[in-house]
Chain A
């Protein structure tokens, strides 16, 4: 019986789609059968981040409307064993499906997959309601910024009032140099405000941009973000993995020159 996880944030542009793609790839590397679903109707993106945009024939709305069978719409990612994508529709909007239909769809997918990851659209409207309808747990993605944390707090409140109690927090795009200078909130600052258990803290990593340029998840690359995503996948599966140190330990010389550097 699979687990349905919604990846949500409230605010747009904090890394929901990238996170969904990487967690999907990571869990499949850990021998899990995974399907990632793009629930952002009208603004299809997950396929592009994963580099599967040329393989789309049918989409989520086709499945729900019965235009095709579920199997026909699932795109297999050939680079990973047991990773599938159910793309969103680019020409429909959020009213094309209902929370009840999403619930039915995720229930069907549970028999077939170990993990069903839902990439939630930004905002708190029907698209959000659709995405959370069938979910067992939520992963909230935020960045250490005032607006993103504020939106995350609203989302957490909405999840609680919709009886979705199992949730974890990912803090994305941490710049350790700025944290050290006192110009970016720390992981502890953010978790204290949101009071949701932390499942991962990701450094702001150039490799993520390079990965999305190429349509390749960073989880396959040797990078800090890739390793952090892999650790999150293990924690999702219930393994206790210690949080990694985000700062690169600078050598003695750079530490000395750092002392004289004027900010």
Chain B
């Protein structure tokens, strides 16, 4: 199967939609939030984009940092 599964597209779309509904912003605002948070945190912590994740759920904003494998 060469085509990208439609589920991964659906998941990306619905995740962007619920985040923008939850914080009342457009989907690209979420990307900007992530980028800026990454920018400010990487001043203090050694980060790669793969280690870093921002989740906005209905009650809180969670920043996940995978950190260094020990």
Contact = CB atoms under 8 A, between A and B. Distances in A.
Partners in one complex: yes
The DSSP consensus for interface residues of chain A is helix
Contact of A153 (B1, B5, B6, B21): B21
Nearest to B19: A153
B5 A183 contact: yes
Q: Chain A interface residue count: which class?
A: 10 to 19
A50 B5 CA distance: 38
Interface residues of B, number: 17
Nearest to A190: B14
A156 interface: yes
A160 interface: yes
Interface in B11-58: 11, 13-15, 17-18, 21-22, 57-58
Given A146-B13, A195-B57, A153 B7 contact: no
Nearest to A184: B7
Contact of A160 (B6, B11, B18, B58): B58
Q: Tell me what chain B mostly uses at the interface: helix, strand, loop, or mixed.
A: helix
A169 to B, nearest CB: 14
Contacts of A160: 58-59
Interface string A136-148: 0000000001100
B9 to A, nearest CB: 9
Interface string A159-177: 0100000000000000000
A145 B59 CA distance: 23
Contacts of B18: 149-150, 153, 193
13 contacts: A150-B18, A150-B21, A153-B22, A153-B58, A160-B58, A182-B1, A182-B6, A182-B8, A183-B6, A185-B7, A185-B10, A185-B11, A193-B15
